[in-house]
Amino acid sequence: MDTVLQQLINGLSLGAIYALIALGYTMVYGVLRLINFAHGDVYMLGAFAGYFLANALDLDASPSIAGAIVVTLGAMAICSLIGVLIERLAYRPVRHHSRLTALITAIGVSLLLEYGGQVVFGANPRFFPQMIRAEVYSVGGVQITNQNLLIIVVAIVVMFGLQFIVHRTRIGKAMRATSFNLSVAKLMGINTDYVIAFTFALGSALAAVGGVMVALAIPRIDPLMGLMTGLKAFVAAVLGGIGNIPGAMIGGVLIGLLETWLGATAYSTFRDAAAFAVLILILLFRPAGIMGTATVEKV
C-alpha cells in the first residue's frame, strides 16, 4: 500500500515539474498561436541564472530561504529579459510570415540556446547549489522531500496567479483580446506589441521559477536539460488543451503519473515514449485536449 501511495507522490512531484513548464507554453500559444520551442531552453537558462546567482551569494555553504527567494526573483528577471529579447529579435520579424516560418524560427532559437549554452557553459553537467537543504518528511512509510513539496505548491500558486492575471486584470483582458483577434485588438487601441512582449516576459519568468525549483530538487543542470522536459511539458499542454491554464496543470500531472506508473512496471523501458504516444492518441481522438473545447475562452 505504501508503495502505491509513494508512487502517487512521485508522480505528483514529477507532474508538477511538467505543469510548471506547460503553463508557460500554454500562455504563449494562447496569445500568439506559436509553439515556442525555446520555452524549454529558457527553463534551462533559468536554472543556470539561478546557479550563478546562488554561487555568487555563496548559498551552498550558507543556505537560507531569503537567499533562495532573491535567487528566484533574479532568475525570473533575467529570463523575462531574455524572453522579451527573443520575441523582439527573432519572433516579431517573422510574425507576419507563414506559421511554418515562425515554427522554424522557434526551432532555430531553441537550438541556438542549447548549443550556445554548450559553448558558454560547457557540455558537462553542473551542480546546483543547495540553497535550501533537502529534508525528507516521512509519513507512514511514504517519503517526500521539502523540495518536491515546494514544486507542487509553487505550481499550484502559479496556476491560480495566472488565472487571476488573465481573467481579472486589465492586461489580462488585453491578452485575451489579442489572442482572439490580433488585428482587431490593435484597431481597438490595444498596444498588441506590448501585450505580446508582456506575455513572453511572464512566460519566461515562469520558466525561470520552474528552472530554479527543479534544479533544487534534481541538482544536475546542463545545457540540454530543457530539451526533453520541454517537449514533454508541451505534450502536457496539448493534453490539457493548449491555451487553457488549468488544462496545463491537469495535463502535466497526468503525464507525470503516467510516466511514474510505467517506470514502475515491467515496461519501464518504454517510459520515454509514453508522453508521445499519449500525444498521438489525443490528436486522434480529441485534438482539443481534455479541457479545451471550441468555445472555451482561450488566453
Partner 1 sequence: MRVPTKLLATTVTIGLLVGLNYLFEHGFGDFRINAYYARILNLIGINITLAVSLNLINGLAGQFSIGHAGFMAVGGYSATFVTVYYGRAIAGLFGSSLDDAVGAAVVMLISLLTGAAAAAVAGLAVGIPSLRLRGDYLAIVTLGFSEIIRVIILNIPAVGGATGFTAAIPITNFFWIFAVAILTIVIVRNIATSTFGRVLATIRGDEIAAEAMGISTTRYKVLAFVISAALAGVAGGLSGQLFANPLNPQNLNFVRSIEIIVMIVIGGIGSITGAVFGATTLTILPEALRRLDQQFPGLRMVTYALLLILMMIFRPQGLFGRRELGWTWLRRRGPAAPAAAIK
Partner 2 sequence: MRHRSAPRILCATTTWLLLTTGLMSMVACERKSGGATDTTGAILVGFYGSLTGDGASFGQSSREGAELAVDELNAAGGVLGRQLRLLVEDDQSKPEEASNAVTKLITQDKVVAVIGEVASRRTLAAAPIAQRYQIPMITPASTNEKVTEVGDYVFRVCFIDPFQGEVLAKFAYNDLKARKVAILRDQAQDYSVGLTDSVAQHFTRLGGQVLPPVSYSSGDADFKAALTRIRSEKPDVLFATGYYSEAAIITRQARELGMKMPILGGDGWVGDALQNGREALNNTYISNHYSGDNPDPIVQNFVTAYRKRFNREPDAIAALGYDAIKVLADSLTRAQSTEGPKLRDAIASADVPGVTGQLKMNAKRNVDKPAVVQEVTYAGGKVTFIYKTTINPG
Q: Residues 86, 109: contact at Cβ < 8 Å?
A: yes
Type of residue numbered 33: R
266 interacts with partner 1 by CB under 8 A: no
Rg, Å, the chain Cα set: 19
**Nearest-CA neighbor of 274 among 263, 284, 290?**
263
**Nearest-CA neighbor of 192 among 178, 176, 180, 204?**
178
Interface residue with partner 2, options 55, 111, 261, 290 (CB under 8 A): 261
- 95-154 residues near partner 2, rule: CB under 8 A: 118, 122-127, 130, 134, 136, 138, 143, 145
- 199-218 residues near partner 2, rule: CB under 8 A: 218
> What is the CB neighbour count within 10 angstroms for residue 71?
24
The upper half-sphere exposure of residue 162, i.e. CA atoms within 13 Å in the direction of its Cβ, equals 34
Q: Residues 148, 213: contact at Cβ < 8 Å?
A: no
The entry of partner 2, partner 1, none that residue 268 binds, CB within 5 to 8 Å by partner kind: partner 2
262 interacts with partner 2 by CB under 8 A: yes
C-alpha cell at 271: 517510459
Per CB under 8 A, which region of 1-9, 80-88, 169-177, 234-242 contacts partner 2?
1-9
Q: Which parts of this chain interact with partner 2 (CB under 8 A)?
A: 3, 6-7, 10-11, 13-14, 118, 122-127, 130, 134, 136, 138, 143, 145, 218-220, 222, 224-225, 228-229, 259-264, 266, 268-269, 271-272
Q: Which parts of this chain interact with partner 1 (CB under 8 A)?
A: 33, 35, 90, 93-94, 97-105, 107-112, 114-116, 118-119, 123, 227, 231, 234-235, 238, 269-270, 272-273, 275-277, 279-280, 283-284, 287
